[in-house]
Amino acid sequence: MKGIFLSFLFLMSFYLYASETKVRFLINDVKIKVDLQQKEWTPLKLNDPVPEKAVVRCGSDSRCELLLPDGSVTKILANSMLQIKTISKENKPNTSIFTLLGKFFFKVKKGILGEFQVKSPNSVIAVRGTEFLVANTSKKSE
């Protein structure tokens, strides 16, 4: 009985962990605005949650990796900023990320349900199970 209870606790902790986007890695100046009306940027720390609608910004000589609930990874490179528009959930299987400015590397897990979309002011990319780089300068997206 004790083993069943411990297994249940382990599975519940995994489910709770896997239900949000978290900071997996960061170097130097990485900040977040959870609410776009917020005036000040808040420093991010390792394992901090990143909710839907939040904007993450990396300063110069900075990097950040976000682990999404489906196991996909988003790397935000120096002098870059993105917004997590929607995160895949059981009843809503689509993820949408908006690249505001900078360079980003995405590793989208194979076998995810729904779409994984990366949007910029000039383009939309919808993928499943691949790795790719997006460079979004103030003039164009590559």
> Predicted confidence band at 15 (pLDDT cuts at 50, 70, 90)?
very low
What pLDDT digit, counting tens, does each position of 52-72 carry?
Answer: 999 999 999 999 999 999 899
Cα–Cα distance for residue pair 109/128, rounded to 1 Å: 7
Residue with the bigger pLDDT between 4 and 122: it is: 122
Cα–Cα distance for residue pair 79/35, rounded to 1 Å: 20
- What Cα–Cα distance (Å) separates residue 80 from each residue in 11, 53, 105, 114? 35, 16, 11, 26
What confidence score (pLDDT) does residue 142 get?
55
